[in-house]
């Protein structure tokens, strides 16, 4: 379980099956008539790129079924706070996604594809 202390309260973030199902619903792709939900891969790409909106979405969805529940407004304030080490937060979330049983394979594959794309574009 991933945890963050925000305003003196410890919040838990679960990157399990419920998280994966919900985050995948955020984006779909169609190829050869087949539609696949790819929200997780797109959010990982956003995290690698430093997209704070993707960071917000990932954390918010991961906390959805947890107690205490953080509001989107409180999470936004935490991310905006100059005292929050945003670079470290991105690294912590990505590192957790790369080691968590449910997300590990998908996260590593998404990062590998991004790195291959970067090499092609260089």
pLDDT of 26: 92
Per-residue pLDDT of the chain (122 residues; tens, 9 = 90+): 899 999 999 999 999 999 999 999 999 989 888 898 889 999 999 999 999 999 999 999 999 999 999 999 999 999 999 999 999 999 999 999 999 999 999 999 999 988 888 888 87
pLDDT of 12: 97
pLDDT of 39: 93
Residue 104 tokens, joined: 């590990």
Name the DSSP letter for residue 70: P
Given the structure tokens 């087949």, which residue do they identify? 34
Q: In angstroms, rounded to a whole number, what is the distance separating the alpha carbons of residues 21 and 26?
A: 9
The DSSP element (H or E) to which 3 belongs, if any, is strand 2-6
> Strands (DSSP E) along 19-121, which ranges?
28-31, 34-37
Q: Name the nearest CA neighbour of 114 among 29, 45, 66.
A: 45
Q: Name the nearest CA neighbour of 46 among 4, 83, 5, 97.
A: 97
């Amino acid at each position: 379980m991933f945890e963050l202390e925000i305003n003196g309260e410890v919040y838990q973030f679960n990157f399990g099956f419920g998280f994966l199902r919900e985050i995948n619903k955020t984006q779909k792709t169609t190829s050869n008539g087949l539609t696949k939900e790819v929200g997780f891969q797109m959010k990982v790409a956003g995290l690698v790129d430093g997209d704070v909106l993707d960071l917000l979405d990932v954390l918010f969805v991961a906390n959805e079924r947890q107690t205490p529940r953080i509001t989107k407004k409180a999470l936004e304030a935490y991310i905006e706070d100059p005292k929050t080490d945003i670079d470290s937060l991105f690294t912590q979330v990505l590192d957790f996604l790369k080691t968590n049983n449910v997300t590990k394979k998908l996260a590593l594959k998404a990062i590998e594809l991004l790195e291959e794309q970067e090499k092609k574009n260089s």
